[in-house]
Chains A and B, each alone.
Chain A
Amino acid sequence: MDPFFIFPLPSFALQYSPNGDLCMDADKAYKILIVDDSDFSRSNISKMLDSKKYNIIGEASNGSEAINSLKDRLPDIAIIDIVMPGMSGFELAKKISENFKDVMIIMISSLAQENIVIDAISSGASDFLQKPFTKETLVNSIEKLISNMEEE
């Protein structure tokens, strides 16, 4: 008779998604809020972060929607466009820095004059990316913030 062995997998076995990424529980993934008045831009960013490592907890098309999302569920990172109707990205970043201190901010804009970057950082952003950016650039920026958060 052929030998017959059973190896039960432990419940904490690593799991991989079809694209080979290491899966994490949704509650352990880093929570991200995307704020941009462009549907196209929000959708692109969301696709770039389609990994079990990140949990897109919401998308907002303006500052007011973003504040409401923040009150419902606190993200680890907010990705915020600067030029938006109503409340600008700078104003939103200042409100977040004052009221939701644990949220890290990445500001994005098609404009990248030195003055804009300085205003972004002084509004509370930890990083600035000029549009259009690649998936690699965005993920690197997020990973840098995560690494800083974990060190703290």
Chain B
Amino acid sequence: MIVQSCPNNVDIYGQAVLRKYDNTDSPVITTPNQSRVIFPINGELTGFIECTTSMKVNFSLFVESMNILLGQMLTNLESESDLLVRLEPPILSEKEFETDQYEISTNLMYELNTLAKSYDCKILFYANKHKAKEV
């Protein structure tokens, strides 16, 4: 359900484009010099979404691109699966988060094409499903 909710292409204000990789052409991300941001989620799914790139990137562009992508994904998720999930402000900490406790885990790959360069972006989705009392 999460994978189906992900848009294939997202234009970022004419300054970059995000393109979803098919499973077959997904690159392997190597870790050195990676940029990383975490978006906690709450509502009928709680957990977090971790976004990384293989290279140093214009960080503000990267974070806003991920925000826009995840916003569209969660908006689609509500219309397709009736799950209401909200994004929290991004966390820029280097801290590692526990992932064992989550029943849903999915990973996706996108290519972020900026005017200057392309970056492979890995998106790891960890969540538990429950009916929230208040969203």
Contacts and interface: CB of A to CB of B under 8 A. Distances in A.
A117 B32 CA distance: 40
Interface class of chain A by DSSP = loop
A41 B64 contact: yes
Nearest to B78: A113
Interface string A41-63: 10010000000000000000000
Interface residues of A, number: 20
A41 B60 CA distance: 8
Contacts of B64: 38, 40-41
Residue with the highest number of chain A CB atoms closer than 10 Å, among B70, B71, B87:
B71
Contact of B75 (A39, A44, A111): A111
B104 interface: no
B7 to A, nearest CB: 11
Contact of B68 (A39, A85, A115, A131): A131
Contacts of B61: 40
Given A38-B60, A40-B61, A131-B67, A111 B86 contact: yes
Contacts of B78: 113-115
Interface string B57-71: 010110110011111
B60 A111 contact: no
A132 B13 contact: yes
B109 interface: no
Given A44-B15, A132-B12, A132-B13, A115 B67 contact: no
Contacts of A41: 64
A41 B58 CA distance: 13
A114 B86 CA distance: 12
Contacts of A37: 89
Given A111-B87, A130-B71, 12 more contacts: A40-B58, A40-B60, A44-B13, A84-B89, A110-B87, A111-B71, A111-B74, A111-B75, A112-B71, A113-B74, A115-B78, A131-B67
The 9 closest A-B pairs by CB, nearest first: A110-B71, A40-B60, A85-B89, A39-B60, A40-B64, A38-B64, A111-B71, A113-B78, A110-B68
